[in-house]
Amino acid sequence: MHGMRTRGLRPLMAGAAALFAVTLLAGCTSDGAEGEGDTGNQGTTSEENTASGDTVVIGWSGPEADHGWLGAINTGAINAAEGFDDVELRQAEGTNDANQQIAAVEQFINEGVDAIVLLPTDGAALTQVAQKAMDAGIPVINVDREFSDTSASRLTILGDNYGMGVSAGMYICEQLDGQSDAVVAEIAGIDSLPLTQDRSQGFKDALETCDLEVGARVAADFTVAGGESAASQLLSANPQIDAIWNHDDDQGVGVMAAIDSAGRDEFFLVGGAGSVNMMDRIAADDSVIKATVIYPSTQAADGVAMARLIAQDKTMSDLITPSVPYRIVLDAPVVTKDNVEEFIDLAFES
């Protein structure tokens, strides 16, 4: 179906079980009556969460939208805010300069906003000013790139970079079932970034489960030009390839150009992130691109929605525990021609 993994369910199940045990004990010891506690009726309901409340002023700051995925992140934050009649979004100009972003957060603090949603251009560099906001009583929602200190945010919302690699690797294992001598290649993003390292590690670990390994690897830079250059290098050095995972659909535009130019079609390609153009080609099923792994461009939109709940002292209604979690890691499902219609409405333009 969506390729969802269950590794994150155990803590939730354990927490729910513990809460149930505490509630049951309270029910048995309170005047001897059982069933007085109701674990399904804690916190705010979905109806209460949807209902308009006090106006929440949210400051939003992210990097410059010089990449299709980052453009979708920014648009998502704006659209999410517009979807609530009790949210006022104050948007800082996108920047890849950490000092400028620090100044934007300082301004939000001085303005006394109710919450800040922040996708830092550099998590470590923005940690101190985020901590300053938290110390001022302003909850910070950290998106995508983590701060170096967890106390600098009330909530962290992340895509699953390691999980992307696992999803890509497991899909390739399924398609190459039994072909232990298959040549698997990888076109990574920027190798110095932890997110790239996580994606590559997840990919390696997944391939090991079916006795495969990465036989050829190059790194690009998340750009079209970089993708084309890296893919050309990969193809010229490897006359036979059975499967390729490309980490990023924006650089995938260049990767596909290199493949078309070389006239190669003996392999299948798996993309990453989830762009409209890649999903369109997957749906058409007329090229080497057969799947892509989602890295959600909805993270900032989710951040705005969660900032509103936190500022209004509301909770996540579908959780038994009456709160908003401190950490949310989103899923990394595989999109194929069989399920592309489920995901394409949330895809971004490369």
* pLDDT one-digit tens code per residue, 125-149: 999 999 999 999 999 999 999 999 9
Helix (H) or strand (E) holding 12: helix 9-29
pTM over 0.85: no
* Average pLDDT of span 67-76: 93
Report the candidate in 140, 194, 145, 203 with the shortest Cα–Cα distance to residue 173.
203
Neighbours of 327 (CB within 10 A): 12
For residue range 198-246, list pLDDT tens digits in order. 999 999 999 999 999 999 999 999 999 999 999 999 999 999 999 999 9
218: three-class secondary structure by DSSP: strand
pLDDT at 210: 96
Confidence band for 29, pLDDT divided at 50, 70 and 90: very low
Percentage with pLDDT > 70 across the chain? 88
Q: Helices H, strands E: what count in the chain?
A: 12, 12
Token pair listed for 6:
């269950």
CA 289 to chain CA mean position, Å? 22
Rounded to an integer, the average pLDDT of 97-124 is: 97
- Other C-beta atoms closer than 10 Å to the C-beta of 349 total 12
List the domains of the chain with CATH numbers: 46-159+297-318 (3.40.50.2300), 161-295+335-346 (3.40.50.2300)
Distances (CA, A) of 38 to 16, 25, 86, 316: 12, 12, 30, 16
Average pLDDT over residues 335-345: 97
